[in-house]
Structure 1
Amino acid sequence: MSKDSQKAINAADYEKYSSPIPSREYIMGLLDEPGKTLDRDQLGQLLQLVSSDDKEALRRRLRAMERDGQLTFDRKKGYSLLREDDFIEGLVIGHPDGFGFLAQEGAGNDIFLHDSQMLKVFNGDKVRIVMSGVNQRGRQQGQIVGIIEKNTSHVVGRLIHEEGDYFLQPENSRIRNEIDIAADQLNGAKAGQYVNVEITEYPCNRFNAEGKVVEILGDSMAPGMEIDVAIRSHDIPHKWPKTVLDEAAAMPDEVKDADKLHRSDLRHLPFVTIDGEDARDFDDAVYCEKRKSGGWRLYVAIADVSHYVVPGSALDQEAEERGTSVYFPGHVVPMLPEVLSNGLCSLNPHVDRLVMVCEMAISRAGKISAYKFSEGFINSHARLTYNQVGALLASPEKGLGKQVAKNHHAVVPHIHALHQLYAALRTARTKRGSIDFEKQEVQFKFTKGRKIDQIVPVIRNDAHKMIEEFMLCANVATAQFLEKLNLPALYRVHEGPGEKKLTNLREFLSERGLNLAGGDKPTPAHYDLLLRSINERNDAQIIRMMMLRSLSQAEYSADNQGHFGLAYSAYAHFTSPIRRYPDLLVHRAIRSVIRRSESGSKLHRVLKKFTGMGSDPVHRIKNATPLEEGKSYPYDLDKMKTMADHCSRVSRRADKAGWDVEAWLKCEYMQDHVGDTFSGVISSVTNFGLFIELDDTLIEGLVHVTALNNDYYQFDAAQQRLVGERTRTSFGIGDTITIRVVRVDMDQRKIEFELA
């Protein structure tokens, strides 16, 4: 070794290594020229390394520098320095099979990450990678060189004890890392229990992650365990900070008389609420009356949460973080404390409540001709359920319908008026071409000990559809109001189908002799026309599902892009401020306009021009105290863009948590039905088998290709079928089938079927 090389050895390396070699910095200096590459032999010669021990030390050092993102290696050329533009940043997306992907913001294809790379990170980490070639399938893959931002501080899962060691098996299937837990870090937890573990050491190349138990959730089959696990697995905020509880406790039990001042008194109007049997938070109340000139005047009164939850308060900050209430079977994690969500803000019957009112003039043809927003207070005349109103409309002379007519006779004429208006709105919706998927849902019924007892289909009646149409009207009026005033606000947007998904859908439909009109740019009307043509088909549910899959997911946006599925040019969420933060933001926007200066201003002229109203589309009460705009609505466009991303993310998080709980409950239910037979339809086909969705319960399970033992089946990707080589028997999406339940895997939430 040359004298220069000896001088380049770090003093500490003499103590750490038996054969120390020059430092990393010195080696990087040898390569510090653009485009310069040297292989290991060339570097060894420059360093004048002779002994086999020195050469082995160089090999190890170069591998370590490659691993740490200092060097990149090309088999043909050798080693070169990694420069700043060689690095790629993105978010890690784990896959249940152990590998993962790097998702780059604004980029098209994700970059593959091998299983070995995933062992040193967690799902959701923001990392820096370098490209490392292509995998066996020709997909670009990367090598992680550093973690920019750690996503995971706690992991929920089941505590496993094997060969004297404890580790956590994460509940999140996207986390495949085992997390080691020392015996003195169990804090009383026992093997088999679900626990919440705090990560004390992140994983690395050589060692698993380490953690300590900070919360014991309980045994796997304990009542409600599926919800406790989902809440923590998806990081859903569920504990109220003291500052929030203090603010909530300071709220009055009932509406103060002072708060009713400068509001429209609408208590004489027979508003009613119509909700599910188990509902506790009532956001909306409705009333309509026929107009002498024809058509109707529809009032949609929404709980005025914005009066109580002011920007910047502890309640507001917590509501923003939560973003939405999260609904599970038999349980809810509310966005607001119950003193507000179920009490002061909820439009409970026969008590005064503050509301934001959208009053709309609707023509005989079911079109909104004018609208007006106001602050008011109402006294709901009845708390009705969908089942009650559905029975009243369908069978008023018998059973539940007759009972409702007797108990609520004062509001019955108004319910019929609402139903007549609904008929006009449905006709208008059909003409507009809104997509009506009528997606089937299920309801879980439990025993007193919260053991899953039944899974039954939810039957949507005219009461469900009626309230849905009224809420759509109010949301459309709101979006038009926000857009015309050019207020920074959140819209609910939904894009049409992408090219690839549209191609896949057309191929699927052609297999069934169906066609989606519209060419490359089908409209909602084309979708709806096809949907209405398949109602009598046995495979209608699967066709609806495939059509739904072809569409993108709705999201929040500060930029109005219209709503494809509903066929609206503008759409916003106004009707649920108790349980959705975007609705609360929209209320604040409207309220800031109501409490601005009186008519005659430039604002007034703009409102008249764009809405066609003879007066402001907001109703102001004389001498109402104006709100300071910067405080009542302190949002600009940039803030709204941030809000849109956050609210979309927490909405998706709530959906995923709900799906996890449903999957758990369905598996738990099917444990008692192993060996039983059921009918269903094939919902998906892969090269490894058939996914079957059972009738009524919508439970999905897999018939593995190896269970089709009467032939050897090939996967036809173009036709989405498995076809037997000898018998030519085929199985495709939408085919009806009878299966037997073979096995339920609670850990993986998987159900295995075989043909019956």
Structure 2
Amino acid sequence: MFQNNPLLAQLKQELHEQTPRVEGIVRAHEKGFGFLDTDNKKSYFIPVAKMKTVCHGDKVSGSIITNNDKESFDPELLIEGSLQKFIGKIGFQDRAMVIYLENMPANFAIRCKINEQVNEKLKEGDWVVATLVSHPLQKESKHFFAEVTRFVADGNSPYQLWLKTLARYDLETHAPQAEALTIIDAELDNRQDLTDVHFFTIDSENTEDMDDAIAVSKDEHGDYQLMVAIADPTAYILQDSELDNIAKARNFTTYLPDFNIPMLPKALANELCSLKANEKRPAMICKMRIDNAGNIIADDTTFMPAWIESKAKLSYNNVSDFLENNSELATNDSTIKQQLIWLADLAKIRITWRQTHALVFKDNGDYRFELDENRQVKSIIKETRRIANHIVEEVMVIANLALTLQLQTKIGFGIFNIHSGFDNKYIEQAIKFLNDNGITEFDKELLLSFDGYVKLRRMIDNEPFLATKLRKFQSPADFSTEPQPHFGLGFEAYATWTSPIRKYGDMVNHRLIKAYIRSQELISPDKEQLKSMNERRKMLRFAERDMAENLYAQYLSDKIDETYSAEIIDINRGGARVRLCDIGAFAFVPLSMIHSVKEEIAPFPEEGVIKIKGENRYKLADIISVVIHQIKIENKSIIAKFADENTE
């Protein structure tokens, strides 16, 4: 009787139009219900039944239902789904295969099918990559449904954390394969034989892909005659060959804790190109003269292809112990011992030169995870940078500056590392912050200039509070085919060529310098390649961050209530972000765990301070004691509380 009744349809339409509507982002709760967070900071409850039509992170719109003065949200339209491609764990419900998504409530499962290109026979607990095929809020869809497109890891694999992280960012899990590799015939011509020179390498104890070797002498004027030998993979890889295209796509070697994925086949990276001790290897050589004030004499710089034979593989710790403590060196070669003494002096001279003529980064040290046989973290080692690290760093910077000059003056293009200092959109905030802290001589034009940036950095590098805050206003590093300044290093231009086994951009610069030496055609790098390099570098940093967060959360999970020294690195409306000084982990301290009386504490992110009772109590770069309070397994976050405040 009431079917197709136009009056009833009109009434329903009017009621629908009168119902309040909102849009926002779905936030799931582990107990099955959820909330819709709107732009105006208001949240609406989503009942369990309605949560079955959405998932965490979906942007949706719908109506507000009021029942007994209680409001809830009814999802109606999907604006933007949070699930497109995702990682999950295989399970079974009523004999049907499902995927339990990582970082989602445990009761959220999606039925799935397997793409025919997936060769693995999947079992419960296996990790996979899948794509969403249908969503309940889409037309003609009633349920979530997905397709498995890639096997990631066995549920019992000790490597599953690493493999999941690589899959999350669509990174390769294995080194590229290659057929028999031989040196290109043209690369055999006009290679100088330098196998009698006492080159040597300095690397970590377990490094296999050694891409640089050093030799140094001093002349009668006290000038340093420095030779840097760099591994030469382009002697084996033709441009635009299949292997070159693989390297071009990967762009970099992937470095995760105790798990590296080479950019090049291991037969090249760890064998044929690696500058192993007592093995004849092709290399590109840069020969330079540096005076005793640290200046590179440009007219005395030459590049050449050569054969070398490293006379020793030395480690950072062994070299530092020899130079700092007069310990025994892992070689009896007296020539190398003398070279190390000269190199230590040269490194100190160059550090002083850079402090005067460029910029030097604050030495914060590195952190290394030590894993047991089950790949669980047993300890975290803080490694301070010692004299051997400084030697290698300064020598590589010298070699890169020598190449930069060649690219600038002889070739005109290449792949340059650039950094433009402060981001223009934050410049007013930076100026206000400087003015508030008594630094008034920088206007917008000066602060955006290379000279102004360098001047400011030299002023504030010994002021941790100012340096930490101003870092937030900087632009990210980038690449360019033309020479442009690198504000962060304090160089008018900077290009690298010293890691061609690990960086495709360095391979490109190798080919350019070879083409120039051989009077061959010079072709500018593809600018699209720079975009690929930049995007890949971001993905690698995200992957490294994710792995570190996982391993830190794992390590600290049984250390609740333990106390650590920490540095405040950020302040926001919710509290403070800190870094644990001894192990490098990042933790968040909510305001409630800094001071218990809500009305007495106030953060001022723009000023970089937290005030209690109206007085500055904490600021960026302060070193304080924190207590580990909670590890949130679902997002691997570490919650801490300040140890010197009454937060109970």
| Amino acid in structure 1 at the alignment position of 2:170 | D
Q: Distance in 1 between matches of 2:550 and 2:591?
A: 24
Residue aligning to 1:494: 419
Q: Write the mapping of 1:671-710 to structure 2, written as runs, cut at 5 A.
A: 671-708=557-594, 710=596
1:550 aligns with 2:473: yes
Residue aligning to 1:469: 394
Distance of aligned partners of 1:709 and 1:591 in 2 relative to their CA distance in 1, 3 Å threshold: closer
> 1:153 Cα shift?
7.0
Distance of aligned partners of 1:724 and 1:488 in 2 relative to their CA distance in 1, 3 Å threshold: closer
| Amino acid in structure 2 at the alignment position of 1:743 | Q
Helix, strand or coil for the counterpart of 1:485? helix
Distance of aligned partners of 1:707 and 1:430 in 2 relative to their CA distance in 1, 3 Å threshold: closer
Residue aligning to 2:458: 529
Helix, strand or coil for the counterpart of 2:297? strand
1:559 aligns with 2:482: yes
Runs (5+) with no aligned partner, structure 1:
1-17, 20-49, 63-92, 102-114, 128-142, 535-539, 597-626
Q: Deviations over 1:279-335 (max 9, x none)?
A: 211111111222345522221111111111111211111111111001111110110
Residue aligning to 1:537: none
Q: Distance in 2 between matches of 1:99 and 1:388?
A: 58
Residue aligning to 1:433: 358
Q: Write the mapping of 1:622-701 to structure 2, written as runs, cut at 5 A.
A: 629=521, 635-636=523-524, 640-701=526-587
Q: Deviations over 1:712-748 (max 9, x none)?
A: 13333443344345x8684432333322222112220
Distance of aligned partners of 1:463 and 1:510 in 2 relative to their CA distance in 1, 3 Å threshold: farther
Q: Distance in 1 between matches of 2:429 and 2:106?
A: 32
Alignment partner for residue 195 of structure 1, among 120, 127, 139? 127
> 1:694 Cα shift?
1.7
Alignment partner for residue 195 of structure 2, among 267, 278, 293? 267
Distance of aligned partners of 1:257 and 1:381 in 2 relative to their CA distance in 1, 3 Å threshold: farther
| Amino acid in structure 1 at the alignment position of 2:392 | I
Residue aligning to 1:715: 603
CA contact (8 A) 1:687 1:722 kept: no
CA contact (8 A) 1:295 1:364 kept: yes
Helix, strand or coil for the counterpart of 2:507? helix
Helix, strand or coil for the counterpart of 1:533? coil
1:385 aligns with 2:315: yes
Residue aligning to 1:736: 623
Distance of aligned partners of 1:298 and 1:750 in 2 relative to their CA distance in 1, 3 Å threshold: same
What is the TM-score of this pair, normalised by structure 1? 0.68
> 1:515 Cα shift?
4.5
> 1:579 Cα shift?
0.4
Helix, strand or coil for the counterpart of 1:673? coil
Q: Distance in 1 between matches of 2:134 and 2:516?
A: 51
| Amino acid in structure 1 at the alignment position of 2:566 | G
Residue aligning to 2:343: 418
Q: Distance in 2 between matches of 1:395 and 1:256?
A: 45
| Amino acid in structure 2 at the alignment position of 1:697 | I
> 1:472 Cα shift?
1.2
CA contact (8 A) 2:565 2:582 kept: no
Residue aligning to 2:513: 590
Runs (5+) with no aligned partner, structure 2:
18-24, 30-34, 39-45, 60-76, 644-648
1:750 aligns with 2:637: yes
> 1:146 Cα shift?
9.4
Helix, strand or coil for the counterpart of 1:310? coil
Helix, strand or coil for the counterpart of 2:313? strand
Distance of aligned partners of 1:482 and 1:544 in 2 relative to their CA distance in 1, 3 Å threshold: same
CA contact (8 A) 2:88 2:102 kept: yes
Alignment partner for residue 454 of structure 1, among 379, 382, 394? 379
Distance of aligned partners of 1:376 and 1:676 in 2 relative to their CA distance in 1, 3 Å threshold: same
> 1:702 Cα shift?
2.0
> 1:437 Cα shift?
2.3
1:51 aligns with 2:44: no
| Amino acid in structure 2 at the alignment position of 1:300 | V
Q: Deviations over 1:328-384 (max 9, x none)?
A: 111101100110000001111110000111112222322222221111110001111
CA contact (8 A) 1:694 1:700 kept: yes
Helix, strand or coil for the counterpart of 2:362? coil
1:402 aligns with 2:328: yes
> 1:693 Cα shift?
2.0
Q: Distance in 2 between matches of 1:545 and 1:473?
A: 28
Distance of aligned partners of 1:302 and 1:184 in 2 relative to their CA distance in 1, 3 Å threshold: closer
Residue aligning to 1:297: 225
| Amino acid in structure 1 at the alignment position of 2:249 | E
Q: Deviations over 1:658-705 (max 9, x none)?
A: 111111111000012012222223222222222232221122222222
Q: Write the mapping of 1:604-615 to structure 2, written as runs, cut at 5 A.
A: none
| Amino acid in structure 2 at the alignment position of 1:211 | E
What is the TM-score of this pair, normalised by structure 2? 0.79
Q: Distance in 1 between matches of 2:252 and 2:373?
A: 28
Distance of aligned partners of 1:439 and 1:552 in 2 relative to their CA distance in 1, 3 Å threshold: farther
Q: Deviations over 1:461-509 (max 9, x none)?
A: 1211121111112212212212223444211111111355455556666
Q: Deviations over 1:369-421 (max 9, x none)?
A: 2221111110001111111111121121xxxx2244x6443410112222232
Residue aligning to 1:87: none
Alignment partner for residue 234 of structure 1, among 169, 172, 181? 169
| Amino acid in structure 2 at the alignment position of 1:754 | K
Q: Distance in 2 between matches of 1:169 and 1:290?
A: 65
CA contact (8 A) 1:433 1:524 kept: no
Alignment length, in residue pairs?
A: 586
Helix, strand or coil for the counterpart of 1:268? coil
Q: Distance in 2 between matches of 1:546 and 1:362?
A: 37
TM-align CA RMSD: 4.2
Q: Identity of counterpart residues, as a percentage?
A: 23
Q: Deviations over 1:141-199 (max 9, x none)?
A: xx99899xxx98742234578999976455589x9997722499996443xx4611321
Distance of aligned partners of 1:545 and 1:416 in 2 relative to their CA distance in 1, 3 Å threshold: same
Residue aligning to 1:155: 86
Residue aligning to 1:211: 147
Q: Distance in 2 between matches of 1:391 and 1:573?
A: 29
Distance of aligned partners of 1:547 and 1:267 in 2 relative to their CA distance in 1, 3 Å threshold: farther
CA contact (8 A) 2:113 2:146 kept: no
Distance of aligned partners of 1:180 and 1:303 in 2 relative to their CA distance in 1, 3 Å threshold: same
Following TM superposition, the consecutive aligned residue runs of length 4 or more in structure 1 with deviations greater than 6 angstroms are 56-62, 93-101, 119-123, 143-147, 160-166, 175-179, 183-186, 255-258
